[in-house]
Structure 1
Amino acid sequence: MPKHVMHLVTTGKQPLDQVVSKLASCPPDVIDTIHIREKSRSAKEIFEWYTALRSTLPKTHIFVNDRLDAAAAAGAPGVQLGYTSLPPRLARAILPASTLIGLSVHSLEEAARAHNEGVDYILYGHIFATGSKAGVEPRGIEALAAVVEAARVPVIAIGGIEPGNVEEVLSSGCAGIAVMSGILGHGDPAKQAMRYRERLDGSRHTPRIAFHGNE
């Protein structure tokens, strides 16, 4: 059965040494991909984050959000694009051919277009209520399932996902989940990461389109 993946997205609110400290005790194969999502930091700082996280979790893929300059300099295996980023077709022209390109989408129409824009996967949310989107109505499982059905690339679900609702999320056919404060805001991040991993690996559901990373 294809593996469900777990992506971890940095919060933009924690210093590098705190993030490294929280992740240092995580087993090497628990988190598949870490996204450096630090909008207020410079390209130099993003590069430093990449180097530190790569050293801390050498078996984990490290992706860079938005900053293609830092991603290219670090040799990152993937990037995550959003509304303010360069369009995927321009990012593809700049980056090495092997670089995975992800796109954050928030509607069924955006999900359906993603393949034609040249992206390798999409991030969709927020699925459940979350503090990072306070006051904004969550999109829910039904909308996620519709996006998974419409997309021709793997879908990673994000937003308010806890170990207890992982199986419900995976029932949509998505390729995996992305977590922020669910791990980085937890008192025991390593143990919490293992809880997520156990739910992912023990799921009875199968991804509609699996995410294979940079294998």
Structure 2
Amino acid sequence: MPLSTPPWRDLKGLYAISSETIVRDPAHLLPAVTAAIRGGVTLVQYRDKWNPADVRHQLAAALAQRCHDLGARLIINDDPALAAAVGADGVHVGVSDTAVASARQQLGANAIIGATCGNSLDRAQRAVTEGADYVAFGRLFASRTKPDAPPAQLQTLSAARRLGVAVCAIGGIGPEHVPQVADAGADLIAAVDGIFGSADVEARCRRYLAALRDLR
């Protein structure tokens, strides 16, 4: 049954995505995510292309518990079955990953489903038609995480507003970029190394949030 309030309506703010560095160091992962949430992050994505399945399950379960204890929500990258198993809040799918429609069928109406769209409004429209709650565009700036990804344009964020779901911006976004990205129409500001590459994750997140507050 559809929700009376769609999940995307309150998808706003800073979105932290786990980096390879912290995922490969499980002892560092939970403290880093905790610091990000204390710094103001409300949405966390567990992206892990490196650990075996049993380790991913263990880490995802611990992250789900920590996120929920601290009032944040957890998204699993490209693994609806893992998201369901650990009680995560949803899943994010890439261009060549699980289809949005399949993820929605597996996780149900209450799950948050996000989709990578590069710079393509057509891809975003297809994702929305299949049930996505947010569409992500990037890279918007030079990115250490995906340096070879094709660039996306700020005007694509503006055009995506008409799709009626949350718009996520990603790719090389630092606190200094927040004003132009938010002004272009982004609801969610996503960062990987921009957050977890910092020696003080909590303080770094507060810088992002301060830039967002300055726009209000």
Same fold, TM-score > 0.5, yes or no:
yes
Structure-2 change in CA distance of 1:114 and 1:54 (3 Å):
closer
Residue deviations 1:119-174, cap 9 Å, x none?
1111111111112232445323233323x244331111001111111011001112
CA separation in 2, counterparts of 1:105 and 1:26? 25
**Alignment partner of 1:196 is 2:204:** no
- The structure where helix makes up a greater share of residues is 2
Structure-2 change in CA distance of 1:127 and 1:13 (3 Å):
same
Unaligned 5+ runs, structure 1: 205-215
Letter in 1 for 2:64: R
**Structure 2 match to 1:48:** 58
Structure-2 change in CA distance of 1:46 and 1:152 (3 Å):
same
Point out the more displaced range, 49-58 or 109-118: 49-58
Structure-2 change in CA distance of 1:26 and 1:62 (3 Å):
same
Residue deviations 1:176-210, cap 9 Å, x none?
21010011001111100111111123324xxxxxx
Within-5 A mapping of 1:161-200: 161-200=173-212
Contact persistence 2:100–2:131 (CA under 8 A): yes
Identical-pair percentage: 29
CA separation in 2, counterparts of 1:54 and 1:119? 21
Point out the more displaced range, 79-88 or 23-32: 23-32
Structure-2 change in CA distance of 1:135 and 1:47 (3 Å):
closer
CA separation in 2, counterparts of 1:104 and 1:3? 16
Residue deviations 1:52-75, cap 9 Å, x none?
223444211111011112111001
Query: What TM-score do the two structures reach when normalised by structure 1?
Result: 0.84
Q: Following TM superposition, by how much is the alpha carbon of 1:28 offset from its aligned partner in structure 2, in angstroms?
A: 3.5
Unaligned 5+ runs, structure 2: 1-9
CA separation in 2, counterparts of 1:25 and 1:74? 21
**Structure 2 match to 1:105:** 117
| Aligned partner of 1:131 among 132, 135, 144 | 144
**Alignment partner of 1:31 is 2:41:** yes
